Amino acid sequence: MSGGVLFLLLFVLLLAGMPVFAGIAATCAIFMQVTDIDFFMVIQRMYSGVDKMTLLALPGFLIAGNLMDQGGLAKRLVSFCELFVAKLPGGLPIVTVAASAIFGAISGSGVATTAVVGGIMLPEMKQRGYEPSYVGALITSGGVLDAVIPPSVILVVYGAATGTSIADLFKAGFSVGLFMMISVMILCIIQGRRQNITLVKKVYTKEMVLSTLKESILALLAPLLIIVGIFGSFVTPTECSVILIAYVILVCGPIFHELSLASIWESFKKAALQSAAILLILSTASVFGWIIAYTKLPNMLMNAILAITANKVLIVLAVNLVVLVAGMFMSGTAIVLIAAPILTVLCSTLQINPVHFGAMILMNLAIGCMTPPFGTCLYASSMVTKAPVEKIAVKIIPFLLVYFIDLVLLMLFPDIALIFV
């Protein structure tokens, strides 16, 4: 059985609605029956797929993200952003995008970010005259940045699956995520000058400013711990996740009084389930990756591509297009794990920096999550704002164009991703 047939079989099973881990496992089982490979290899490969120290960061950041979600950090981040930019043209949209990006990075879930930030910002923006469909487009474009900005779960999974340094991916993700966020904010300012929207006239007293800063700074220190710790090489990503957990419990518990023992326990339970689901996919994907390598599909595919064109730019463009389309239908984690063997060979053959390549892949996955007609965050924002998906899809086009421009610039200028690496 060839590697191409394996991919086709897996694609059919996933389209039929089979869970990702089950689809991968079933594909591997069929291959092993046909080729008569010893079943012991499956156990060995499944174990080796998750027997990596770097993966210890995964449950750590998931726990921290859940604790932050429970601890009320989102509303404090919104208050902080409002303090500085709410009165500018496009101020509230800028606040929405900034809060979505920061909270998305913290929580690790674009869908959760869309729900939380959307729930906070929607009433205020509707009062100012913004259409719910526009608000939906805003929170979607900010929420998808969770795939890029550390401590992104997909960043950790990508690093583990391809053997790329997670610390370097975090650094690249920060610069790329910041680049994408600023691009959307510029669009918000341009749109704000053209729209007939009532500007925020809220007057901040000295006491209000100090109170907002006091609470917001404690919330902002959470992502700052990640940036300083990892960028300064003071801690590993795993150690950083543990420090982050301790910090969030301290701040959201005794100081903010929004974390109870019950909510802490619930956060740990939720993270355990999330980690188990990802590790189960990772272990089965490890077997699938070994089988793909066994069939020599990555090398054959690379030779076939090079026979058509040796132009590195065209090849990278084609890969970006495939990942982007796949991101509209499948979860980013599944795409990364299934495609990891081919992506690794592609990187080494074309002599592309693996961190730069990883940043491009993750940006594509982020864009895929918001692209009509199947983007997951698109539907989440529709549920929050009660606006039809079709109307949000129209409003989201300018944001998509901005992200596509960002993607092209990232392809042409690797330093956007590598400036801190």
Instruction: Provide the 10 A C-beta neighbour count for residue 267.
Output: 24
From CA 154, how far away is CA 173, in angstroms rounded? 11
Give the pLDDT confidence of 133-145 residue by residue, as tens digits. 888 888 888 888 8
Q: What percent of the chain has pLDDT above 90?
A: 10
Q: Give the CA angle between residues 148, 333, 234 to the nearest 5°.
A: 50
Question: Looking at residue 401, what is its pLDDT?
Answer: 94
Helix (H, G, I), strand (E, B) or coil at 374: coil
pLDDT of residue 180: 93
| Position 410, amino acid | L
Q: Which amino acid is at 53?
A: M
Residue showing tokens 């421009």? 405
Cα distance from N-terminal residue to C-terminal residue, the chain? 41
- Cβ neighbours, 10 Å, residue 242: 17
Q: Which residue has the tokens 């090849």?
A: 315
Which residue, among 22, 55, 54, 25, has the nearest Cα to 42 in the 3D structure?
25
pTM of the predicted structure, to 2 decimals: 0.76
Closest CA to 368 of 337, 411, 322: 322
214 Cβ contact partners less than 8 Å away, ≥ 6 residues apart: none
Tokens representing residue 239 in the block: 């150690």
Helices 312-329/397-412 angle, 10° precision: 150
**How many Å is the maximal CA-CA distance in the chain?**
75
Full pLDDT tens readout for the chain, 421 residues: 566 777 778 778 877 778 877 888 888 888 888 877 777 777 888 887 777 777 788 788 888 878 877 777 767 777 777 777 666 666 778 888 887 777 776 666 666 677 777 777 777 777 777 888 888 888 888 888 878 888 777 888 888 888 888 889 988 998 999 999 999 989 988 887 776 655 555 666 677 777 777 777 887 787 778 778 877 778 888 888 888 889 889 888 888 888 888 888 998 998 888 888 878 877 887 888 777 777 777 677 777 777 777 778 888 888 888 888 777 767 777 788 777 777 777 888 788 899 999 999 989 888 887 877 666 677 778 877 888 888 888 889 999 999 999 999 999 999 999 998 7
**Predicted pLDDT at 202:** 60
* Cα 328–Cα 293–Cα 369 angle in degrees, nearest 5: 10
Give Cα 79 to chain centroid, integer Å: 24
Task: Find where tokens 């599909």 sit.
Answer: 297
Residue at token pair 């053959």 = 349
Cα 265 from Cα 163, distance rounded (Å): 33
Cα dihedral: 62, 65, 66, 72 (round 10): 180
Long-range contacts of 48-53 (CB under 8 A, 24+ apart): 48/286, 49/282, 49/283, 49/284, 49/285, 49/286, 49/287, 49/289, 50/279, 50/282, 50/283, 50/286, 52/160, 53/238
Alpha helices, H only, 71-199: 73-85, 91-107, 110-127, 132-143, 153-162, 166-194
pLDDT value at position 175? 92
